[in-house]
Structure 1
Amino acid sequence: MRFACAAVAALMTCTALPALAETPNRAQLAASVKGSHDANLKRLQDWIANPTIAAEKTNVDGGAEYMRKRLLDAGFQQARVVKTDGVPGVFATLDAGAPTTLGIYFMYDVKQYDPKEWSSPPLEGRLVDRAEGKAIVGRGAVNQKGPETAFLAALHAFKDTGRKLPVNIVLVAEGEEEIASPHFRQIVSDPEAAAALKKTIGVIIPGAGQESNGATSIDLGAKGVIEVQLISSGEHWGRGPAKDVHSSLKANLDSPAWRLVKALNTLVAEDGQTPAIDGWFDNVKPLTARQKELIAAGVKNSSETDIMKQLGIKHWYKDEDFLTASYRLASQPTVNIEGLVSGYTGPGGKTVLPGRAEAKMDFRLVPDMTREEAEAKLKAHLAKRGFGDIVVNVSGGYSPTETDENSVLVKSQIASLKKAKVDYSLNPRLAGSWPGVTFTGPPLKRPAVGFGLGTGGGAHAPDEWYLIDSKNPKVAGLDESAMFYVDYLYELAEAAKR
C-alpha cells in the first residue's frame, strides 16, 4: 500500500456528537484478545513467512488460498478465490444477521526485498526491541499484514466468545496492490461480490498511522497512480545497436540509452520536479478552502523535525516552509523515476554501448485527473517530440479517490476515536495511493477511507516493522488495535441507526 507520512492532516476540534455506543460486556472481549495475543502474533508471523510478490509472480495462487483460509478461520462463513486475468483475489462474507454491512479492503501481496539489506531475515517475523516497544520485523509487517491481522484479531474475539458481530462484513482482498491493482476491478465486478458490496455502508482499509504523540488520522482520500515502464531499444528505434556492442563504436552509432535520457528530460521542467507533460494540469482541481484548513491545522500539530528525521532529509523542495510543502504534497501530481537500468551495472567498468535502456516510473494523480487521461497524455507527449518508438508499458493504475467527511462511515470513526480519547485528524488526501476509487467511483459510489490505530514503518524498505507491544500508553500495540476495531464495529452499528 502506498502511504505517506501523516503530516498532511488536521487535528480536529471537539464537536457535538450523539451519545457514543457502548461495547456490551467489553471485558469478555478484551480478555479474549489478551488471551489470544500469542496466537494472533503467530498468525502474523506465519503470514509474513508466506509472501506473495505480484511483480515476480511469486506464490500468487498459494497466497490467495492462504488468505481464504485465514478469513474462514476468523469467522467468515464463506470465502472463495476469485480468478482474474492476473493474480487472483478473495471475496468473503460474514453474515451476523445485522441491519448494517461494512465493507473491508485487504491486500495480501508485498513488495520485493533483498535479504542482504535487512538486519534480520525479512520472512522470519522476528520480534525486536525498539524505542517504541516490542516490534515485529518482516516484509509486509506494516504494509499491510500487521493492521489486517489486528482487524482479524477483533473478529477472532467475537468468534472465540460466541458473540455475534453488530454488523455484517463483506471483504475483498487482492494480490496485486503493489503493482497498482491492474485486475482489482475484476474482483469487485464478480457478480456475487458486486451484489454484496452494494449492501455496504462504506469500505475501510485498516491502517496503522499513529504518531509518537498517539494521534492518528482518518484518510479521506488518496492520489491515483499509474505504473509505467519506458523502454528505448535499437530494435524498436531502428537506430543504434540491437544488442550491447563495444563502446568505441559510440563515435558512429546512436545510443538507445541516451535517447531514453533525452525522452525522460522532456517529462519534467528544468527544476526536475514540475511535470511538463502536455496537458498534465488541465484537469487538476485546486485544494478547497476546507482542505487547506485541514492541512494547516495538521501542520500546526505535527513535528516537522520528527518527520524530516524519519525521512532522512534536511530540506523540502525549493526550501519551502512546512505548510507550503504540505500543501504541495497533497495537491501536486508527480512524475517519478523509480529506477533506471541499462548496460553493465556490476563492479568496475565494462566498455559497452547498450542496445536497450529502461526506466521504471510512477505518476501520482490528483482529482480530477484520471488513469486513462494520464496514459493517453504521456504517450501523446512522447510521440509529439519524436519519441514514438519508445515503448510505453502501463502495468497498472487507477484514478484518485475522495470521500465526504460528513458520511456516516467517517462520523462513526470520529465517534470511536473520541470514545477512545485518541487525538484524531482528517487527512484530505494521502500522497500515496490505494484503489479506493474502485469503491467511491461508479457503479458502487460508496465512501472508502483508511482508518485504525497502531504504528509501524519501513514500508517498501528494509527492516519494515509493526508495533506489537507498545511502551507508550498513547500508542496502540496489536491487542489495543484489535480492541479498537471491536469498539468501532459497535459504534458503526449504532451510528447507522441514527
Structure 2
Amino acid sequence: MDFRDIDGPTRREMIGGAAALGAGAALVQPAALFAEAGSLADIRKAAEAGKEASIKRIRDWIALPSIAAEDRNMPEGAAYFAQLARDAGFSNVEVVPTDGHPGVFGTLDVGAPRTLGLYFMYDVKQYDPAEWSSPPLEGRLGEREGLGTVMLGRGSANHKGPEATFLAALHAIRAAGRKLPVNLVLICEGEEEIGSPHIHQLVTKPNVLAAFRKCDGVFMPTCLQDLEGGATIELGAKGIIELELVASGEKWGRGPKKDIHSSLKAIVDSPAWRLVQALQTLVTPDGNKPAIDGWFENVRLLTENEKKMIREGIKHTNEARMKENLGVPHWVDDLSLEDAMVRLMQDPTVNIEGLVAGYTGPGGKTILPGRAVAKLDFRLVPNQTRAEAVKKLRAHLDKRGFKDVEMNVSGGYDPTETDPNSRLIRAEIATYKKLGVRPNISVRLAGSWPGGSFTQPPVSQPVGRFGLGTGGNAHAPDEYLLIDSTNPKVAGIVDATMGYAEFLYTFASIK
C-alpha cells in the first residue's frame, strides 16, 4: 500500500518545534552510530529480534481505541495498558480509579541509585473513518515519500506508538539479560485528550505520590525528530483550559426555550446571536489576541535569551514548507517568521474549537435556535494559572452582562517550565549528542501536556519529553508513525527503541 498522498506536517512543525536552538552536533544515521559504539550491541540485537513484536504491540494497542470524550472503552483501555506494563516488567501495577476515567500506576524497582518517572496516556482523539485513507484502527503499513514505511492509525504518533516503543526498550534490555540502570515509576492516565481533569487525583494518591517524590525527573516518550534529523528538547509547555460556553433562551430569560420558526426573529431574541456577541468580547476585532479583562497581567514575557533561542532556531526552518504543510499563506498580522515564532512561544490564546447552533445538515431549515454552544480552548503561558484564568473569564462575561451564558469547564492544567540545568534535561542533551543527533532546545511546547502536575508541589520534579523517530497528523486524519526509515537522518522503530535504552543508561550515569 502506498500512502504518498498522505500530507501534513510533523507534530514538531505544527506546534512550534521550529523555534529551537541548534547545538551544532554533526548529523549521522543513528543505526551507524550504535553499530560503532557497541556498548549496547546486545540490547540492539534484542531490539532487532523483537522488531515484529514491537510493531504488533503498537498495532494491537491501536485496535482498542479509548476515547475519553466519547466515554468509549475506558475501563478496557486502562486494563489493557495495565497488562502492557506488567508484560514489560512493572510490578505492583494497579488500575487507579478517579472521579472520571481510571489511570494506571506501576513501579519497576531494580535497586538502582536513581529513579526516573514516566508519564503515559492511553486515551486518543476522536476520528471519522470517512476522512482516512485507511481504517484508523487497522495500523496499516505503507510508504510515505521522503520517510519510508509508516504505520497509519489513531494514536500511532500521539502517543501509543512512542510509548509502546519505550516499552520495547524495556523488553530488549531484559531479553539481553541486562538489569535496568534506573528504577522506574509509571503513571498512565486516560483523560489527556480532554484536558486531564483528574490527573491531580492520580499523582497525589498516597502510594503514587510517595513513589514520584523519589524520582529525579519525569519524562514522556514522544517522537521528536524533524526531517533534518534534529530532535527537540522543550523547556516547558503551555497550559490549557477546555470549556463550553452555552447561550440558551431558558437561562437567558429571553429568546425561545426551544427551536422556533425563523420568521419570528422579527419579534424574538436569538440565543445564537447572543453567544456570538459574548464570544466577540473575548478577543480583539481580528480574533488574534485575547481581550479578556486582566488576561495579560501575570503573563511572563520571553527573556532576550529565550528570543535568541528562537532566532537561532529558525535558521533551520524552511518557512515556505512550514506554511505549505499547515495550509496557510500568511501568519497573523502578516508577521515575519521570527515575530510569529516569538508570538507562538510567548502569547496565550483564545481558540474556538467548534461552534454549533440549530440546524447544520444539508439544505436549509428555517429555525431560530433556542440554544447555541461554543467549544473553546485557552492556551496559558508561565505565571498564568488555570484557576486564575477561569475566574477572570467568568468575571469578564459577567461584567458585560452575560451572566446567563453558561461556562462548563471540562479540563485543563497550568503551564510548566523546567530548569535547563536539571539532570533530566542534561541527560536528554547528552543522549542526543552521543547518538549524533542535533539537540534543538526549544523555549516551550506551544501545545500542552500536564507536566505541571509533576513540576508543582507536592511532586516538584523536573519534566520533559524525549524520543527519536517521527510521526505526524496528530488529532487529524491519517495520523502516522515512522517504522522503517529511508531518511538517514531520522530513526525508525529499532533506532527509536535504542534511543530510549541509551537515554536510560545516560540518565543513570550523568553527574
Superposed pair shares fold, TM > 0.5: yes
Quote the residue 1:18 is aligned against: none
CA distance in 1, matches of 2:286, 2:39: 60
CA distance in 2, matches of 1:487, 1:210: 16
User: What is the one-letter code of the residue matched to 1:117?
Assistant: E
TM-score relative to the length of structure 1: 0.97
User: What is the one-letter code of the residue matched to 2:290?
Assistant: P
Following TM superposition, by how much is the alpha carbon of 1:218 offset from its aligned partner in structure 2, in angstroms? 0.8
Quote the residue 2:124 is aligned against: 110
Structure 1 residue 286 corresponds to structure 2 residue 301: yes
Secondary structure (helix, strand or coil) at the match of 1:141 reads coil
CA distance in 1, matches of 2:372, 2:286: 23
Quote the residue 2:202 is aligned against: 187
Structure 1 residue 124 corresponds to structure 2 residue 138: yes
Residue deviations 1:343-401, cap 9 Å, x none? 00000000000000000000000011000011000000000000000000010001100
Secondary structure (helix, strand or coil) at the match of 1:404 reads coil
Following TM superposition, by how much is the alpha carbon of 1:306 offset from its aligned partner in structure 2, in angstroms? 2.2
Residue deviations 1:313-343, cap 9 Å, x none? 1111111110000000000000000000100
Structure 1 residue 485 corresponds to structure 2 residue 500: yes
User: What is the one-letter code of the residue matched to 1:226?
Assistant: I
Count of matched residue positions in the alignment of Structure 1 and Structure 2? 492
Quote the residue 2:19 is aligned against: 8
User: What is the one-letter code of the residue matched to 1:317?
Assistant: V
CA distance in 1, matches of 2:185, 2:307: 34
CA distance in 1, matches of 2:431, 2:176: 22
Q: Of 386, 390, 412, which aligns to 2:427?
A: 412
Quote the residue 2:446 is aligned against: 431
TM-score relative to the length of structure 2: 0.94
CA distance in 1, matches of 2:174, 2:248: 57
CA distance in 1, matches of 2:25, 2:349: 35
CA distance in 2, matches of 1:282, 1:13: 37
Structure 1 residue 100 corresponds to structure 2 residue 111: no
Structure 1 residue 72 corresponds to structure 2 residue 86: yes
Secondary structure (helix, strand or coil) at the match of 1:111 reads coil
Quote the residue 2:180 is aligned against: 165
Following TM superposition, by how much is the alpha carbon of 1:295 offset from its aligned partner in structure 2, in angstroms? 1.1
Quote the residue 1:153 is aligned against: 168
Following TM superposition, by how much is the alpha carbon of 1:159 offset from its aligned partner in structure 2, in angstroms? 2.0
User: What is the one-letter code of the residue matched to 1:40?
Assistant: S
Following TM superposition, by how much is the alpha carbon of 1:262 offset from its aligned partner in structure 2, in angstroms? 0.5
Q: Given that residues 225 and 397 in structure 1 are in contact (C-alpha distance below 8 angstroms), is that contact kept between their aligned partners in structure 2?
A: yes
Identity of aligned residues (%): 57
Correspondences of 1:332-343 after superposition (within 5 Å): 332-343=347-358
CA distance in 2, matches of 1:5, 1:333: 14
User: What is the one-letter code of the residue matched to 2:399?
Assistant: K
User: What is the one-letter code of the residue matched to 2:130?
Assistant: K
Quote the residue 2:65 is aligned against: 51
Instruction: List 4+ stretches of structure 1 deviating above 6 A.
Output: 21-24
Quote the residue 1:90 is aligned against: 104
CA distance in 2, matches of 1:312, 1:471: 26
Compared CA separation, residues 410 and 348, structure 1 to 2 (3 A)? same
Compared CA separation, residues 461 and 378, structure 1 to 2 (3 A)? same
CA distance in 1, matches of 2:37, 2:217: 21
Correspondences of 1:98-497 after superposition (within 5 Å): 98-131=112-145, 132-495=147-510
Q: Given that residues 343 and 353 in structure 1 are in contact (C-alpha distance below 8 angstroms), is that contact kept between their aligned partners in structure 2?
A: yes
Residue deviations 1:298-321, cap 9 Å, x none? 111222122112211111111111
Following TM superposition, by how much is the alpha carbon of 1:24 offset from its aligned partner in structure 2, in angstroms? 7.7
Q: Which runs of 5+ in 1 are unaligned?
A: 16-20
Larger CA deviation: 72-81 vs 196-205 = 72-81
Secondary structure (helix, strand or coil) at the match of 1:42 reads helix
Following TM superposition, by how much is the alpha carbon of 1:291 offset from its aligned partner in structure 2, in angstroms? 1.1
CA distance in 1, matches of 2:319, 2:89: 43
CA distance in 2, matches of 1:237, 1:116: 38
CA distance in 1, matches of 2:353, 2:303: 30
CA RMSD of aligned residues (A): 1.7
CA distance in 2, matches of 1:314, 1:210: 25
Q: Given that residues 24 and 438 in structure 2 are in contact (C-alpha distance below 8 angstroms), is that contact kept between their aligned partners in structure 1?
A: no
Following TM superposition, by how much is the alpha carbon of 1:158 offset from its aligned partner in structure 2, in angstroms? 1.5
Following TM superposition, by how much is the alpha carbon of 1:77 offset from its aligned partner in structure 2, in angstroms? 2.1
Quote the residue 2:29 is aligned against: none
CA distance in 2, matches of 1:328, 1:44: 36
CA distance in 2, matches of 1:324, 1:373: 28
Q: Given that residues 139 and 151 in structure 2 are in contact (C-alpha distance below 8 angstroms), is that contact kept between their aligned partners in structure 1?
A: yes
Q: Given that residues 23 and 487 in structure 1 are in contact (C-alpha distance below 8 angstroms), is that contact kept between their aligned partners in structure 2?
A: no
Q: Given that residues 23 and 490 in structure 1 are in contact (C-alpha distance below 8 angstroms), is that contact kept between their aligned partners in structure 2?
A: no
Q: Given that residues 244 and 375 in structure 2 are in contact (C-alpha distance below 8 angstroms), is that contact kept between their aligned partners in structure 1?
A: yes
Q: Given that residues 238 and 447 in structure 2 are in contact (C-alpha distance below 8 angstroms), is that contact kept between their aligned partners in structure 1?
A: yes
Correspondences of 1:6-45 after superposition (within 5 Å): 6-13=17-24, 25-45=39-59
Q: Which runs of 5+ in 2 are unaligned?
A: 1-10, 27-33
Q: Given that residues 77 and 93 in structure 1 are in contact (C-alpha distance below 8 angstroms), is that contact kept between their aligned partners in structure 2?
A: yes
CA distance in 2, matches of 1:178, 1:280: 25
CA distance in 1, matches of 2:38, 2:424: 21
